[in-house]
Structure 1
Amino acid sequence: MGLSRIAGTIDDAVNRSSVRYLRSKGWRPRTIGLTGYGSVQSLHVLGRVVMSDPGEAGDEGEEIAPVGPINVAAEAQRGWRSFFTAQPGFLPVVVRAGGQVIRTTTDRGGYIDVMVRDHGLEPGWHEVVLEARAAEPVTAKVLVVDPEVRAGIVSDIDDTIMVTMLPRAFIAAWNTFVRHTTTRKPVPGMAELYRTVLEENPTAPVFYLSTGAWNTVPNLRRFMRTHGYPEGPMLMTDWGPTPTGLFRSGVEHKRTQLRNLMITYPDIRWLLVGDDGQHDPMVYDEVAREHPRHVAAIAIRELTPAEQVLSHGTAEPIEEPNPLRNANAEHGVPTVKGRDGDALARNLPDVLVARREQRLAEEAAEAQAAEEAAEARAAEARATGRHSAR
């Protein structure tokens, strides 16, 4: 038995014991609705079920009080509980989305991940209902993207829209325990940059793609609301062992989610936004080289030397795409870099306008070529018909 499988077995056993113990103490399952997304054909519904003390409000319903000497201990306790959870695996769940009712179960980590087809929902924001056994029904928001949309944003979170100034090993705990938005600092100009991009593309969806844990989502939502970031689904990951390793691969998580988005929305060209503190430049460039028609541009926030040291131990970026073999050199997918959103805003909007005009020209050329091919086939058919008539 491999080490990862042993670790997974231990993790499952500890979680089952924790669930049984908490049930004996009066705790009950509580469903957390996570933001889902989809098209007019199918919908990706997300949620999670965790054990919860009925006497305490859930993360989404808590009032946020100022940090002070009186409530620091209480805040730490709530943060601890939201980070270290027990989740009932394989619990029956009913999902009601549009005209569909889907019966499923949570996975071993308590997650609900359901694809709903033929849901009948119009483009826009909607709510679906999640009903887990022994838990109160809750709603989860879902975004149905209009099939006419041609632009979208995918954004990293840590060090891209939010300044962390912490070693990566501590970021997840910090995102959970440091709950108040006044202690979190946004990257200057990033929210304004996103709003500028959306002014040109008001129906463009915004997805937040991070290697952070799902447990941190409630706090990150508060941060985004406070600092004016556009609402959008958050594509996070889970910690712990997998069938192939002791920890999940953040790089592979981002690759997989980006490819899923391109499959779900084949007509959208994405602006990919990240930072150079970890692997975003390489992941984005790799995906853009594989799918150049699906990427409008790449925007990379350049970390300061101090942030680089905290991120991975050196003052320089950890890795950069090959200058001779990258998405720009091979396919014309541009990369814009800057210290913050204000720096990126000096060039990025013009780059996106140029890429949009390029896309429109390509689509017009393709339409003309298709029309000419159809005319040629029709002419050939007429000629064949006349020849047969003779």
Structure 2
Amino acid sequence: MKRRPFFGARLDDFVTRHLGSALRRAGWRPRIVPFTGLGTPSRVRVLGQLVLGPARRHRAWPIGSPLWLNRRGWRNFFTVPVPNGVISVTISGRAHRFTTDRRGHLDTTIDTPGLAAGWHQVRLDSPGAEQVGAPVQVIGDDQDFGIISDIDDTIISTSLPRPLVAAWNSFIQPEVNRQAVPGMARMYRQLLAGRPDAPVVYVSTGPWTALPFLTRFMDRHGFPPGPMLLTDLGPTTTRWLRSGCAHKRAALVQLAHAFPHIRWVLVGDNGQHDQALYREFAAVRGSRVRAIAIRTLSPTEQVLAHGTVGGLDTRSSRRGRRRVPEVLGADGQALAPVLLAVLREQQHSATGPDQPTDPGH
């Protein structure tokens, strides 16, 4: 006998359905929000969301203008999804038809034999919506280096998951006031020196509705572009709140499965559970991990993040775990020299003392 969805999900669906009907009567129409996808020359993952928006959209403020930079964060979070909507994805001249989930999301993989490595645009269409392009990064089968990075308190100071502080930072603060963690963008650029096609995948428990803000933030502070794997606010079919750990754990497994030839540098912080999750991943797939880099929060940041002065308990079983280097530092300026030295030593060991090494590596 099939179980009914969790009450919270049914309530959420009820509100979405009736709010959507009211907004459609007021003239709102479907709108496609494209996310950045990723894949290999033979298979790509396409991401996006179908939401409702006003039929006549207001003139956008120029990006970088005072009005734009001082817009409040709450504008990033309020959307009305279109569940069970139809989105057509056109890639390599072929159209594929899909149905969105209960939160309006499209998350699908498409076979694309012979697609060249690099950045591509796929076309997204939906009845009544304006056609949009979605970027997709295709990673070549010869690529063996990549970065998986957390976002909250790793590259941007958010003080999550303390609810009141997080709400203030996310909803009230103007975008221009959000601070990047010093040195992290420069560290990522250093890691990618000599590896222009290596991927950077940002994995976070933040909501998909924050994606436009995060894209602008990363561009403003010089972070390399890359796909973001975020999650969704609201209840699931089994519980009131989504598990951030489960989301990150699943994302790591998916990336390891999709790109078995890549050895990743895992970057996170000790304000949540990144260190334990990365150690757990390394215990099972140590051959896929080059190094773990953990940003150590200050005592004040620790209190804001989880209410205690010390970091979260990061102990995990190490039985049978391959030795994966771990480096710790307060920011990118402290992490970069140690992490780069670790990677240079790995490269030296792999090529041998008598073999020339690529100075970019």
State whether TM-score is above 0.5: yes
CA distance in 1, matches of 2:62, 2:129: 18
Match of 2:166 in 1: 171
Which amino acid letter does the alignment assign opposite residue 52 of structure 1? Answer: G
1:326 to 318, 323, 342: 318
User: Quick one: structure 1 residues 202 and 81, their matched pair in 2 at CA, closer, same or farther if it must change by over 3 Å?
Assistant: closer
CA distance in 1, matches of 2:307, 2:206: 20
* CA deviations over 1:70-92 (Å, ceiling 9, x no partner): x97xx44xx54541221111111
CA distance in 2, matches of 1:163, 1:33: 25
CA distance in 2, matches of 1:58, 1:288: 48
Match of 2:16 in 1: 15
1:154 to 141, 148, 152: 148
CA distance in 2, matches of 1:348, 1:58: 45
Match of 2:179 in 1: 185
Partner of 2:48, secondary structure, is strand
Q: How does 1:257-272 map to 2 (within 5 A)?
A: 257-272=251-266
Q: 1:168–1:312: 8 Å Cα contact kept in structure 2?
A: yes
- My pick for the range that moved more, 42-51 or 93-102, is 93-102
User: Quick one: structure 1 residues 91 and 166, their matched pair in 2 at CA, closer, same or farther if it must change by over 3 Å?
Assistant: closer
Q: 2:46–2:109: 8 Å Cα contact kept in structure 1?
A: yes
Partner of 2:170, secondary structure, is helix
- Give the superposition deviation at 1:167: 5.1
Match of 1:314 in 2: 308
* CA deviations over 1:280-315 (Å, ceiling 9, x no partner): 000000001110000000000000000000000000
Q: 2:282–2:321: 8 Å Cα contact kept in structure 1?
A: no
Q: 2:286–2:321: 8 Å Cα contact kept in structure 1?
A: no
Which amino acid letter does the alignment assign opposite residue 257 of structure 1? Answer: A
* CA deviations over 1:244-286 (Å, ceiling 9, x no partner): 2211110010010011001110010000000000100000000
User: Quick one: structure 1 residues 80 and 150, their matched pair in 2 at CA, closer, same or farther if it must change by over 3 Å?
Assistant: same
Unaligned runs of 5+ in 1: 362-390
Partner of 1:202, secondary structure, is coil
CA distance in 2, matches of 1:49, 1:16: 14
CA distance in 2, matches of 1:158, 1:58: 31
Match of 2:359 in 1: none
2:209 to 215, 229, 239: 215
Match of 2:51 in 1: 50
Please give the TM-score of this superposition, normalised by the length of structure 2.
0.90
Matched, 1:339 2:330: yes
- Give the superposition deviation at 1:55: 2.7
Match of 1:372 in 2: none
Partner of 1:272, secondary structure, is strand
CA distance in 2, matches of 1:301, 1:57: 40
CA distance in 1, matches of 2:98, 2:90: 11
Partner of 2:344, secondary structure, is helix
Matched, 1:94 2:91: no
Q: 2:30–2:82: 8 Å Cα contact kept in structure 1?
A: yes
Q: 2:117–2:138: 8 Å Cα contact kept in structure 1?
A: yes
Which amino acid letter does the alignment assign opposite residue 35 of structure 2? Answer: L
Match of 1:377 in 2: none
* CA deviations over 1:159-197 (Å, ceiling 9, x no partner): 1011224653253673355452x2111111111111111
Match of 1:374 in 2: none
- Give the superposition deviation at 1:64: 4.4
Identity over aligned pairs, percent: 42
Unaligned runs of 5+ in 2: 353-361
User: Quick one: structure 1 residues 172 and 216, their matched pair in 2 at CA, closer, same or farther if it must change by over 3 Å?
Assistant: farther
- Give the superposition deviation at 1:352: 1.3
CA distance in 2, matches of 1:217, 1:58: 20
User: Quick one: structure 1 residues 229 and 262, their matched pair in 2 at CA, closer, same or farther if it must change by over 3 Å?
Assistant: same
Which amino acid letter does the alignment assign opposite residue 286 of structure 2? Answer: P
- Give the superposition deviation at 1:243: 2.5
Match of 2:197 in 1: 203
Matched, 1:33 2:34: yes
Match of 1:388 in 2: none
Matched, 1:125 2:116: no
CA distance in 2, matches of 1:188, 1:245: 37
CA distance in 1, matches of 2:148, 2:298: 22
Partner of 1:185, secondary structure, is coil
- Give the superposition deviation at 1:345: 1.2
- The number of residue pairs the alignment matches comes to 351
User: Quick one: structure 1 residues 219 and 173, their matched pair in 2 at CA, closer, same or farther if it must change by over 3 Å?
Assistant: farther
* CA deviations over 1:101-131 (Å, ceiling 9, x no partner): 1111111100111211025421000100100
CA distance in 1, matches of 2:192, 2:300: 32
CA distance in 2, matches of 1:58, 1:301: 40
CA distance in 2, matches of 1:58, 1:281: 44
- Give the superposition deviation at 1:4: 6.7
Q: 2:76–2:212: 8 Å Cα contact kept in structure 1?
A: no
- Give the superposition deviation at 1:10: 0.7
- Give the superposition deviation at 1:239: 1.7
User: Quick one: structure 1 residues 346 and 80, their matched pair in 2 at CA, closer, same or farther if it must change by over 3 Å?
Assistant: closer
Which amino acid letter does the alignment assign opposite residue 175 of structure 1? Answer: S
2:218 to 194, 215, 224: 224
- Give the superposition deviation at 1:26: 0.7
Q: 1:15–1:86: 8 Å Cα contact kept in structure 2?
A: yes
CA distance in 1, matches of 2:59, 2:103: 19
